[in-house]
Amino acid sequence: MHRHRPDAVCRTARLGLRLTRRQRRRCFGLLRAAGDVWAGLIDYNRGRLRRGAGPVADFVALCRELTGVRVAELPRTCAEGVARRYSDAWFEANRRRRAGEVARYPRRKKSLVPVRFRAGQFALDGARVRLQTARGAPPLVVRLARALPYPPAQVRAVTLLIDAGRVVLDVTAEIDVGPAPGTATA
């Protein structure tokens, strides 16, 4: 697992994509599948509450519920990422309620949810990015509209999302921080 270094910062750049119709359809399919996972988790907890059982918000327990579930071309690790965000939202609402603030647990279904690909789930090759898909589905290769602003070796994650109706890719890189100007290094 990659650890954060104290001498580095994370930066994110939003890049447009040049997509064919088929690639665009597959990208929307991944985003829709992530939305289906989010909606499924909401429905699962709603059903548990109706039966008198407590909600499940623990990340590990949510991942256990996702075991064996195939959601279109969405890879398992990306589905777990959606479960992680659901769990974080649930516990954040819980924390705010305990602090006396008004907060609601996740209950709104989203049709398109951003999909995050971490190290090992994507590959950069010049202006092309290969995104991992579910087992048995061909990988999704998309072209960037402009060059990466960071060296490829420093890129840690990419996120597929919709911005103003366009499919874009957020590229997150870990950038080394040099000494401040005017400071001496020994």
Sequential DSSP letters for 6-68: TTEEEEEEEEEEE--HHHHHHHHHHHHHHHHHHHHHHHHHHHHHHTTPPP---HHHHHHHHTT
Q: What are all long-range contacts of 44-51, with beta carbons under 8 Å and residues at least 24 apart?
A: 46/107
Mark residue 80 as left, alpha or beta (left: phi above 0; alpha: psi -120 to 50; beta: remaining). Answer: alpha
**Alpha-carbon distance 65 to 60, whole Å?**
9
Per-residue pLDDT band for 1 (boundaries 50, 70, 90) equals very low
pLDDT digits (tens, 9 = 90+) for 49-61: 899 998 888 889 8
What pLDDT does residue 108 have?
87
Question: Is 50 exceeded by the pLDDT of residue 97?
Answer: yes
Per-residue pLDDT band for 110 (boundaries 50, 70, 90) equals confident
* Domain extent listing, the chain: 8-176
Mean pLDDT computed over every residue of the chain: 88
pLDDT digits (tens, 9 = 90+) for 113-166: 999 999 889 999 889 999 999 988 998 999 999 999 888 998 999 999 999 989
| Cβ-contact 3, 132 below 8 angstroms | no
